[in-house]
Structure 1
């Protein structure tokens, strides 16, 4: 696998993950269900993965970038598994509406598992680490530019949303309104 192919695959991964976060954000607004603290932590895990993908796109694939992705995915998977375990007890209400038969936290765990497996596979191709160099935005391919912009927009949106929901305080365990609009 060449360095350029690796950058393109990382760009596709960043776009796909941005769409996942965008859909979660859209569902939150459309269904008027605020993200719980565990949901927000899962988003932090996704954003950490996006950071590693973005570094691979801009600076070229490096083990440290893949390590950041794995760390973010492991954090997110642990939080998602914690949330799944809270809701599998009979009589315990679920949080949010199901999507394709499963709740978002279950989908998040599956997505993090796929990210961990995919990252482990990508790390194995040593040819991608040769001739690694920084590529400025103006010299990026079209798909890489889309990925960079999508990552920046979805990260900023989630940061603003988390601040609007929690403010500078600890997020409530069962949020019912935005802190900023009270």
Structure 2
């Protein structure tokens, strides 16, 4: 395989991982905004871990493949996994405890979060074994126009919007102190309006990324 194809392969792997994490975070936002399930303190830690897990692939795509970037994701996975483990143990320690929040495919969301962190850490560790990616002279897509830069910037913008939404929705409930262990449901937004809002965020992120791609300098010019 030529170096160019190798580089494209590793970039696509990182992009696919980011899209998977984007799906998980979008699902959590859907649960919070549309269903009205407000996040507990451990839930917020797990969401933070998910965002940290995404930082490594984002850095790989923007600035090039580096072992340190994978290390950032692995550390975030351990931190998020610790929060997930804590929440799992809280509920299995009490006989008859139905668990917190809704279940999906037989598992509660914090169990799925633990699985996500475990897969993420293992995936990053496995990718570190392919040391050839670090000697390809990769400088990232930040200074190269194209679909990969637009896709990466879309994810960066969406993640930033996600953080803003979380801050805006959580601060009224938690203030500057600790969030309640069992926050009350807000009832959610009616599905058509909430779904339209999520689509607006996604397409808005893409539009901003497209404009950034047009304005950012490029080595191709």
Q: TM-score, normalised by structure 1?
A: 0.88
Residue 157 of structure 2 aligns with which residue? 152
Could you say what the CA RMSD is over the residues aligned between the two structures, in angstroms?
2.0
TM-superposition CA deviations, 1:53-99 (whole Å, max 9, x none): 10011111101100000000010111101101111121334211111
3-state secondary structure, aligned to 2:97: coil
Q: After TM superposition, give the deviation of residue 137 of structure 1 in Å.
A: 6.0
Report what 1:39 is aligned to: 43
Query: In the comparison of the two structures, how many residue pairs are matched?
Result: 177
1:139 matched to 2:145: yes
The alpha-carbon distance between structure 1 residues 126 and 64, as it changes in their structure 2 partners (threshold 3 A), is same
Secondary structure of the residue aligned to 2:162 is helix
Match of 1:15 among 4, 16, 19: 19
CA deviation map 1:27-59 (0-9, x unaligned): 222221101110110000010011111001111
CA positional deviation for 1:174 = 1.9
Moved over 3 A (4+): none
Q: Which has the larger radius of gyration?
A: 2
Deviation at 1:102, TM superposition (A): 0.7
Q: How do 1:81-160 residues align onto structure 2 when only pairs under 5 Å count? A: 81-88=85-92, 89-130=94-135, 131-136=137-142, 139-140=145-146, 142-160=147-165
Work out whether 1:55 is the aligned partner of 2:63: no
Alpha-carbon distance in structure 1 between the residues aligned to 2:33 and 2:169: 13
Q: Could you tell which deviates more after superposition, 86-95 or 8-17?
A: 86-95
Give unpaired runs (5+ residues) of structure 1. none
Is the CA contact 1:14–1:151 (under 8 Å) kept in the aligned structure 2? no
Relative distance call for 1:44 and 1:159 in structure 2 (3 A) is: farther
Pick aligned residue for 2:179 from 171, 174, 177: 171
Distance in structure 1 (CA, Å) of the matches to 2:150 and 2:143: 7
Determine if contact 1:22/1:154 at 8 Å carries over to the other structure. Answer: no
Task: Give distance in 2, aligned partners of 1:127 and 1:77.
Answer: 29
